[in-house]
Structure 1
Amino acid sequence: MLDTLSAGLFAPALGEAFALHGAEGEVLATTLVRCNERPTATMAGSARTAFSLVFACPAEAAGSFAGGHCLIVHDRLGSIGPLYLERIMPLGLAPNSAAFEAVFN
């Protein structure tokens, strides 16, 4: 199923709530804040354009959660994954935010 995901599936959900369900049982309430297609990162012959998703939440809520294998859960899209998300610098986001990125090649 992961190979059928695209930026077009997630773009309508920008600004909406997602839950990250970590491998250790933690659940983190986040918001999808970015959905970016990356045509220059797309591998030759790939069936889809590479894209990335960035989820954000208050840093206090994220605590020491650094990412890892997670299910992402959304009311309309359901459960997707497991995906690997990495905690990234929250550049351009509100102060005291935590950000997590998933990259799809």
Structure 2
Amino acid sequence: VREDVAPADMALGIRPEHIRFDDSSKLRGAIYGTEYLGTTQIVAVETADGVIKARVPAGIHLTPGEQVGLALSSARLSLFEKGTGRAVKTAMHDQAAEARHG
């Protein structure tokens, strides 16, 4: 964390396109539903920690209740204060800015 933050409940955030299915992942859940968007689909996966949504190719056939593993790109995670929704700056922000600006 790159700023002073009062102790508070935090939440991790990640975009659906940065999540992929991975049978070897320890993060597991059941397919809850899908939303087709042309060439891709948003898949809602119910996990022990809540629903996580992943964007995957539309050609992948999924069945409600099917068990899947999810892999998250740690470089794409963001941290938020739960109460305010405010993004908290972390070392990952520094790395992302450096990658964009060389």
- Report the TM-score when normalising by structure 2: 0.29
Query: As a proportion of its length, which structure holds more strand?
Result: 1
Larger Rg: 2
- Report the TM-score when normalising by structure 1: 0.28
